Amino acid sequence: MFDDTREFIEALRASGDLVEVEKEVSWDLELGAISRLACEKDGPAIWFKRIADYPDDITVLVNPMATWRRVAMAFGLAPDASIKDIYREYEKREGKLIPPVTVERGPCHEVVRRGSEVDLFDLPAPMLHEGDGGRYLGTWDLVVSRDPASQWVNWGTYRFMLYDSSHLTGFPRPTSHLGKMFQDYYVPRGEPMPIAIVIGADPLSHFAASATFHLGGDEAGLAGGLRGEPVDLVRCRTSDLLVPACAEIVIEGEVLPDRVGLEGPYGEYPGYRTGEMGNGILFRATAITHRKHPIFTVDATGYKDDSSTVTALSGALAIQKRLERHGVPVVDVYMPPEGAVHLAIVAVQYGGKEVARNILETLTSRRALISKIFMVEADIDIFDMGKVLHAFSTKCHPAHGVHVIHYEGRANTLTPCYSQGERVAQKGATVLFDCTWPGEWSREWETPVKATFDSIYSESVRRKVLERWRDYGFDK
């Protein structure tokens, strides 16, 4: 398994999944535009070697896991592993947490700058999209925080924008674990919240931080489970938080309980800039530590970025488990990258009104991030969107097959189709399209017979055709 960003880069280079840009590029939109286009073309990860205004010994790696090939490789699978295989592998590994190990020293402390030596502008934070409120320093990051009441340590991926040379502003959603911890513990007590913003850890530690994992869940243990071996953690220099020792860069500091800073707007993961500049949390840096020749990691946020694979994959499996717990006859769940973590395909043994209602209530009772669901029967390959679209187009009754649930106070404020008013009230809705045959229809004479190669022909006809396929002139 990869122990750091550098080993992963080597593997990406060897498999042809990396472009190394030697030409100098500007941090001001050029890097962002190149990286956006690469994402939208399902292109490779990009390693920018020369950033204008910055010394050549700091380089930038963008979109490390924005394609299934790169996710497969991060898991140690063959780059062409199927999406289904990647899902099954994650499912297998996420059940076995392996606790981290604390070590005395780590490469992330090769260079240490504290107090007045800290200048956040030393890091090549890019201006990623036109219209962003500022340069984003935290995008592909892993933010460590701790709840003093329970000693629970949370890892999450949260964006951070440059505010001045020693401050960042951030936007953890109120329903996020970092947001909740800050509001529930630190703000009422007026205490600053120590956090560490880790940039460029090993790929599966980033995966664990971005993953949908339950409140109180141990993401460092999850990272170990995904890796099949523990993550080495080392103590920060200005707090007692623990960070991955292999990290390229760590920004240590605290979120101030009584201050806010203007943050955003930003070209967000659904692929739109939806908000205005608003009040974000204000972070004060106390130290920057890094490896020699640090590699600064970036997610060029938007359509088909790293969240569309990583967050969607872990989200789909979290949904599946919740549905199982609530008695839904669920078989499998998939969230396609094009759905921007807003769309889930749910395969069930049987559908119908009651199952639809159960799914909608279960998935929207707390934070309602998903707003569209296709419910299909188990014979549909949910990882093949062509098949899903076919089931939707042919089986979903336009009047009786559409189910909607409305809610307030827990909608996804980044969902582009919501109005500003809905966003403020966190008011939203989730629609489920039932693409299953009604249970009350007779399977003998009432239910349409599927007329595809796999379903309409006898075994002997299919075998004959497959055996002679090349002889007919195909696949030569």
Q: Using the minimum distance from each CB to ligand FMN, give the nearer residue, 36 or 159.
A: 159
C-alpha distances out from residue 242 to 166, 232, 234, Å? 21, 9, 5
Q: Using the minimum distance from each CB to ligand FMN, give the nearer residue, 286 or 311.
A: 311
Query: Is residue 35 near ligand FMN by the rule CB under 6 A?
Result: no
Can you tell me the distance from the alpha carbon of 210 to that of 373, in angstroms, rounded to the nearest whole number? Answer: 22
| Structure tokens given for 122 | 């030393």
- Among residues 205, 293, 242, the alpha carbon closest in space to that of 3 is found at 205
Binding mask of the shown chain, residues 257 to 296, with x at each position contacting ligand FMN by CB under 6 A:
----------------------------------------
Helical ranges in 327-472 per DSSP H: 353-364, 385-395, 420-424, 453-456, 459-467
CB of 158 to ligand FMN, least distance (A): 4
CB of 136 to ligand FMN, least distance (A): 9
- Among residues 26, 62, 313, the alpha carbon closest in space to that of 200 is found at 62
Which one among 2, 48, 171, 433 touches ligand FMN, defined by CB under 6 A? Answer: 171
Instruction: Report how far Cα 32 is from the mean position of its chain's Cα atoms.
Output: 19
Identify the DSSP state of 186. Answer: I
Which one among 157, 289, 412, 430 touches ligand FMN, defined by CB under 6 A? Answer: 157
Binding mask of the shown chain, residues 117 to 156, with x at each position contacting ligand FMN by CB under 6 A:
----------------------xx-------------x-x
CB of 266 to ligand FMN, least distance (A): 8
| Structure tokens given for 201 | 């850890």
> Count residues contacting ligand FMN (CB under 6 A)?
22
Helical ranges in 327-419 per DSSP H: 353-364, 385-395
How buried is residue 420: exposed, middle or buried, by Cβ count under 10 Å (0-12/13-18/19+)? exposed
Query: Is residue 173 near ligand FMN by the rule CB under 6 A?
Result: yes
Which one among 142, 287, 310, 376 touches ligand FMN, defined by CB under 6 A? Answer: 310
Can you tell me the distance from the alpha carbon of 113 to that of 330, in angstroms, rounded to the nearest whole number? Answer: 52
Site for ligand FMN in 5-24 (CB under 6 A): none
Query: Is residue 207 near ligand FMN by the rule CB under 6 A?
Result: no
CB of 205 to ligand FMN, least distance (A): 13
Q: Which residues bind ligand FMN (CB under 6 A)?
A: 139-140, 154, 156-159, 171-173, 176-178, 210-212, 299, 301, 306-307, 310-311
